[in-house]
Amino acid sequence: MHPILFNIAGFTVKTGETIWLLSAISFMILTRNRGERLYGINSETMTRSSVISFLGAATGAALFGMIESPQAAGGPVNLMLSLSSSGAILFGAASMFAASQYYRMGFTAFADAASIPAAFSIALWRLGCLAEGCCRGTVSKAHICLLQYPGESVARIPYPLIEFSFDIICVFLLLKIEKILFKSGMEGRGIILAMSLSLYGYFRLASDFLREDGLTSAGITAFTLFALGGTLALILLLRPCTPQSARKGR
């Protein structure tokens, strides 16, 4: 780990903050390109909506972070280390819905266009967490898959790397499923959004014991809603694909 990317004449650029910035930029660029190229949404509309969604997600992450972590009020640095992913998802989704209504475009198509870039953005964000030393895993006595932070004499579960790996797997899985949906004419219905929410929700609940700072009651509630709500939405959205429904449709 190299927390300082470079330091020239007193100007310091931190590795984690640089990765976080790349995470935000990649989300907006990828969402804009996917919305225009795959879902036929106007380029200018996608650009503005992507920025609005990011700003909403950033606001939610900061607000929930201040609610869940008292140390977040200690300044910008502490706030950055306390950002809440559940708040980012909630406010990001609300901002996407508001933007879709304002610009008169389909919410589900916009959400599907943004869901895969969001998963990739979260993966990059966790690498930033690794560089900054936040979102640490629990202390372990095992001798495999461990991580030792500078200044510590204990070995930890490499939680940021575990979540990074999971998020990247989700990106490729969702891309594969998206291709299938396009071939079957079911793209833009919100299936990608529902699947990404349920996958990430279940993962965060199942992996919480690996993190030193576990989820608060609000976080557990939020991710439970993501997991169960996403699963229910998937069941409803995929019902037309069942053989019985297909026969009735004929």
Domain tally for the chain? 1
How far apart, in Å, are the Cα atoms of 8 and each of 22, 77, 128?
21, 21, 21
Which residues span the domain enclosing 122? Answer: 4-133+145-185
Kindly state whether residue 241 falls inside one of the protein's structural domains. Answer: no
The string of pLDDT tens digits covering residues 43-53 is 999 999 999 99
57 in any annotated domain: yes
Average pLDDT value for the chain: 85
Lowest mean pLDDT among 75-79, 141-145, 230-234: 75-79
10, part of any domain: yes
Residue 232 sits at the vertex; the CA angle it makes with 231 and 236, to the nearest 5 degrees, is: 115
Which distant-in-sequence residues (6+ apart) come within 8 Å of 23 by Cβ? 121, 122, 124, 125, 128
Residue 209 located in a structural domain: no
Whole-number percent of the chain with pLDDT over 70:
83
Question: How many other C-beta atoms are found inside a 10 Å radius of the C-beta of residue 13?
Answer: 12
Dihedral over Cα of 220, 216, 197, 95: its sign: positive
240 occurs within a structural domain = no
Is residue 245's pLDDT more than 60? no
pLDDT tens digits for 74-99?
555 455 556 788 888 889 999 999 99
pLDDT score, position 250: 35
Domain contains 107: yes
DSSP-derived letter for residue 138 is P
> Can you give the length of the chain in residues?
250
In a domain, 245, yes or no: no
> Is there a domain that residue 233 lies in?
no
- With residue 192 as reference, give the H or E element that holds it: helix 191-207
Query: What's the whole-model pTM score?
Result: 0.84
